[in-house]
């Protein structure tokens, strides 16, 4: 009986598989034969630069990877290349950086707001609510222009105003690079 996860991949799902597990061999062999396999171990640019040690257990290393990849513009830009593929690592089914990548792919590259840069960098901000919205904004530690000793908060770059407490962003992503060349229309 074929691995049922094959149908998930055929339906466009992304799956994390263990490169050394006998339980994942059929899935990996099938995915490789169809160009639907991507290694994400340390031998690739997707690999986790942080290692599990006595002082850094698996959960810590996975969180370190999440924080690290949030700063890697090229990797975030290239995440769609992994969509709909079997991602090969050495840790699954244990928690690993492959699950971080899976979460980012599933959320189209949107990252949790608690790991957004707080150095004034302008980023895309998303608010998950009854009226979802995307804005360009930044974290302002100072806000001394209008207030005395204000608490730090997210600022909308377009208006210069802070987000209302009930409209704070929930996710973020880097502002994408501009196209490298203008599109030319045929005709």
pLDDT at 121: 86
Asked if residue 8 and residue 92 are part of one domain, the reply reads yes
Provide the domain count of the chain: 2
| 134 shares its domain with 93 | no
Q: Judge whether 12 lies within some domain.
A: yes
Does one domain contain both 55 and 101? yes
Can you give the pTM of this predicted structure? 0.69
Considering 66, 81, 106, which residue would you say is the last residue of a domain?
Answer: 106
DSSP secondary structure string for all residues of 143-182: -TTT-SSPPPEEEETTT-PBPPGGG---EEEEPPPPPSS-
Any domain includes 179: no
Residue-wise pLDDT tens for the chain (187 aa)? Answer: 688 999 999 999 999 999 999 999 999 999 999 999 999 999 999 999 999 999 999 888 998 998 899 889 899 889 999 999 999 999 989 989 999 999 899 887 788 888 788 888 889 999 887 788 899 999 987 765 555 556 788 999 988 888 888 889 999 888 877 777 666 554 4
Residue 118 and residue 100 share a domain: no
* Beta-ladder partners of 124: 136, 173
Going by C-beta distance under 8 Å and a sequence separation of 6 or more, which residues neighbour residue 87? 14, 15, 16, 17, 38, 39, 40, 46, 98, 101, 102
101 and 117 in one domain? no
Domain-terminating residue out of 106, 125, 141: 106
Q: 58 lies in which domain range?
A: 4-106
154 beta partners: 139
E strand map for 53-110:
86-89
* Inter-residue contact 9 to 31 (CB < 8 Å): yes
Query: What whole-number distance in Å separates Cα of residue 86 and Cα of residue 64?
Result: 23
């Amino acid at each position: 009986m074929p691995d049922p996860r094959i149908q998930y991949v055929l339906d466009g799902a992304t799956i994390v598989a263990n490169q050394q597990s006998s339980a994942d061999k059929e899935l990996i062999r099938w995915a490789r034969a169809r160009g639907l396999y991507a290694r994400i171990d340390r031998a690739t640019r997707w690999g986790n630069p942080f290692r599990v040690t006595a002082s850094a257990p698996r959960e810590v290393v996975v969180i370190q990877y999440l924080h690290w990849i949030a700063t890697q513009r090229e990797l975030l830009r290239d995440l769609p290349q992994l969509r709909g593929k079997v991602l090969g690592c050495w840790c699954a089914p244990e928690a690993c950086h492959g699950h971080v990548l899976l979460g980012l792919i599933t959320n189209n590259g949107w990252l949790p707001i608690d790991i957004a840069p707080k150095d004034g960098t302008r980023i895309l901000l998303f608010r998950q609510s009854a009226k979802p919205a995307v804005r360009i904004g930044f974290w302002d530690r100072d806000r001394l222009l209008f207030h005395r000793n204000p608490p730090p908060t997210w600022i909308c770059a377009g208006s210069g105003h802070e987000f209302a407490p009930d409209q704070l962003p929930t996710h973020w992503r880097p502002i994408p690079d501009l196209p490298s060349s203008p599109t030319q229309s045929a005709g």
